[in-house]
Amino acid sequence: MFLKNLSLTNYRNYETMSLSFDGPIQLFIGNNAQGKTNALESIYVLALAKSHRTPRDKELISWDADYATIRSDVLRRYGSVRLELQLTTKGKRAKINGMEQQKLSAYVGALNVVMFAPEDLSIVKGAPAQRRRFIDMEIGQVSPTYLYYLSNYNKVLAQRNQLLKDLAMKKSNSLEMLAIWNTQLADLAVKLLRKRFEFLRKLETWAQEIHTGITDGRERLSLHYVNSSPVTEEMTIDQAVDKMLAAYEEVRDREIMRGSTLIGPHRDDFSLKVNNMDVQTYGSQGQQRTSALSIKLAEIELIKEEVGEYPVLLLDDVLSELDEHRQTLLLETIQDRVQTFVSTTGVEGLKHQVLQQASRFYVREGKISGER
Q: What is the pLDDT of residues 133-178, one digit of tens each?
A: 999 989 998 898 999 999 999 999 999 999 999 999 888 778 999 9
- 61 φ, ψ to 5°? -95, 135
Cα(152)–Cα(144) distance, integer angstroms: 13
Q: Which residue has the higher pLDDT, 345 or 3?
A: 3
What pLDDT does 367 receive? 86
C-alpha to C-alpha distances, 109 to 47, 66, 96, nearest whole angstrom: 7, 27, 11
Q: Which residue has the higher pLDDT, 336 or 128?
A: 128
30 known ligand binder: yes
What pLDDT does 322 receive? 76
366 known ligand binder: no
What pLDDT does 370 receive? 75
Beta pairing, strands 312-316 & 340-344 = parallel
What pLDDT does 260 receive? 96
What pLDDT does 371 receive? 60
What pLDDT does 350 receive? 62
Which alpha helices (DSSP H) does the chain contain, by range? Answer: 36-48, 104-107, 122-125, 128-142, 144-168, 175-214, 237-250, 252-258, 279-282, 285-307, 324-334, 353-356
What pLDDT does 351 receive? 59
Amino acid letter, residue 227: N
Tell whether the model's pLDDT for residue 250 goes beyond 90: yes
How high does pLDDT run on average in the chain? 91
Task: Give per-residue pLDDT as tens, 260-282.
Answer: 999 999 999 999 999 999 999 99
What pLDDT does 372 receive? 43
37 known ligand binder: yes
Q: Which residue has the higher pLDDT, 105 or 311?
A: 311
35 known ligand binder: yes
Dihedral of CA atoms 253, 258, 260, 265 in degrees, nearest 10, equals -80
- Give the mean model confidence (pLDDT) for residues 188-192: 98
pLDDT band at 236 (very low <50, low <70, confident <90, very high): very high
What pLDDT does 76 receive? 92
Cα(140)–Cα(285) distance, integer angstroms: 30
- 371 φ, ψ to 5°? -145, 125
Tell whether the model's pLDDT for residue 256 goes beyond 90: yes
Cα(301)–Cα(310) distance, integer angstroms: 7
Dihedral of CA atoms 192, 194, 196, 200 in degrees, nearest 10, equals 180
Tell whether the model's pLDDT for residue 352 goes beyond 70: no
154 known ligand binder: no
Task: Give per-residue pLDDT as tens, 44-63.
Answer: 999 999 898 888 889 999 98
What pLDDT does 326 receive? 78
What's the full length of the chain, in residues? 372
pLDDT band at 82 (very low <50, low <70, confident <90, very high): very high
Tell whether the model's pLDDT for residue 123 goes beyond 80: yes
CA-based radius of gyration for the chain: 22
Give percent above pLDDT 90 in the chain: 64
